[in-house]
Amino acid sequence: MQNCIASSVVLAQAIPPGTSFGGWVVGVLGTLSSAIVLISGLLIFGGACYLVATKRRPSVLAAYLVLLPLPVLIAIFGEMKGMVSALTAIASSPDIAVPTEHIAANTAASLVTVLFAMLVSAPTYFLLAFGLLARTLSSPINGVPLTPIRPKVPEPLVSSGGSVPATA
């Protein structure tokens, strides 16, 4: 409970006076990395919708899950870039003491982009997980049963005499 109160206090210090929470979030997300996160998330979601709608094999859906973390990775890159520039600014002015409230507020603001990326990626994850489960448990497509992939066992070579196997 005390941790939740402390988080609310830090968040209240991060939001400038006279600004709503929604306005603050929109202001924080106004960066290029946030736009790239949104675009990549929408493209990946569109691809996932296409794969699920066209009834692809479960292996295709599972392979597509590899692209799912892309928006989060872009957001983490943007966050690290912002933190490096902030720490560089702090290090370049050793005579100025930066209050911890400002550091905590800016850190909270930088984490909003990662939270946004996770929220953008969540529907795609659920869509692919549901599609993968449905394809795995579904009946055969168009009445043709799915055949398991088995290695073909080679037949032994036989000599012209018929009883002794030939050497390859």
Instruction: Give the tens place of pLDDT for each residue, 153-167.
Output: 666 666 566 555 555
Judged on CB neighbours under 10 Å (0-12, 13-18, 19+), 84 is: exposed
pLDDT score of 139 more than 60: no
Greater confidence (117 vs 7) lies with 117
Kindly indicate the confidence band of residue 133, based on its pLDDT and cuts at 50, 70 and 90: confident
* Least confidently predicted of 7-11, 48-52, 78-82, 102-106: 7-11
Name the phi and psi angles at 125, rounded to 5.
-60, -50
pTM of the model: 0.61
Name the phi and psi angles at 144, rounded to 5.
-100, 115
Mean of the pLDDT values across residues 37-60? 84
Q: How many CB atoms lie within 10 A of CB 80?
A: 11
Judge whether 151 lies within some domain: no
Confidence (pLDDT) at 128: 82
Judge whether 105 lies within some domain: yes
Q: How many domains does the chain have?
A: 1
Mean of the pLDDT values across residues 43-48? 88
Judge whether 55 lies within some domain: yes
Q: How many CB atoms lie within 10 A of CB 70?
A: 18
Judge whether 143 lies within some domain: no
pLDDT score of 126 more than 80: yes
Judge whether 160 lies within some domain: no
Q: Which residues contact 43 (CB under 8 A, 6 or more apart)?
A: none
Judge whether 145 lies within some domain: no
Judge whether 25 lies within some domain: yes
Confidence (pLDDT) at 18: 75
Chain-centre distance for alpha carbon 55: 23
Of 32, 85, 63, which is closest to residue 131 (Cα–Cα)? 63
Residue 42's domain comprises 2-137
C-alpha distances in angstroms, 79 versus 44, 75, 114, 124? 21, 6, 8, 22
pLDDT tens track for 19-41 = 777 676 767 776 677 788 888 88
Kindly indicate the confidence band of residue 2, based on its pLDDT and cuts at 50, 70 and 90: low
Judge whether 159 lies within some domain: no
